[in-house]
Amino acid sequence: MNAHAQWIAFKTIVLKEILRFSRIWIQTILPPMITTSLYFIIFGGLIGGRIGEMEGIRYMDFIVPGLIMMAVITNAYSNVVSSFYSSKFQRHLEEMLVSPVPNYLIILGFVGGGVARGLAVGAGVTLVSMFFSPLTIHDPLVAGTVVLLTAVLFSLAGLINGVFARSFDDISIVPTFVLTPLTYLGGVFYSITLLPPFWQDVSLLNPILYMINAFRYGFIGLSDMGLALSYGIILGFVLVLFMTALYLLDRGVGIRN
């Protein structure tokens, strides 16, 4: 395929993925906005009023970046894992794999859809946050690149989950038992400086911690981790997950039974 044909194939897959979640926006975009509003009311308003400040920042302002990132992570992941597994279940993934479209373009197409949903939900949650906290962005470049790379990372993770899933139940195991605990323990509601030294060291093994802190730096200029280290970890995971997904598709893992 020439470059123009590859662009058309990529654009078609991404458009299909965007239409897939946008047609049912009441189920895909609205619920995270409502859930985040409850987080702001309960944690930011009721509990935050008693906490006061976190690292010299008003608690409500402190949790805004983490809640936005949590919504982006969850929705980028869930969009790709459900879409990819549905493509396997409905047997139209094979049509793409036997077509002249390169496997890396198929991956990028699904990832593009996951990123689109993650950013759409992130934008919606950001709008909601403006009712509770004044929106100030300390470094737009850092905030934008971190949220984009994080959406790409978890879209790739969702695709890999979709590759191995053998039933619709399998696509909920990783989000429930791995993704959700890591996200809540990733510094969304607290700074790891509050933890005892042992648990601070344990927290450093959580990759989501680096993403949330880098994004928080972009918003309010505060981070428990170095930016260079955070970017290095995010980019490293993106590269590893992309190469893993490409290998799995090339080998037909989970598809050729």
Q: Measuring CA to CA, how many Å separate 141 from each of 144, 145, 237?
A: 5, 6, 20
Return mean pLDDT, the chain: 89
Confidence of residue 79 (pLDDT cuts 50, 70, 90): very high
Mean pLDDT, residues 97-105: 87
Q: Give residue 257's pLDDT.
A: 56
Classify burial at 127, counting beta carbons within 10 Å of its beta carbon; exposed 0-12, middle 13-18, buried 19 or more: exposed
Confidence of residue 132 (pLDDT cuts 50, 70, 90): confident
**Residue bearing the bigger pLDDT, 77 or 55:** 77
- Contact (Cβ atoms closer than 8 angstroms) between residue 106 and residue 15: no
Confidence of residue 54 (pLDDT cuts 50, 70, 90): confident
Q: Give residue 256's pLDDT.
A: 64
- Residues 184-220: tens digit of each pLDDT: 888 888 888 888 988 889 999 999 999 999 999 999 9
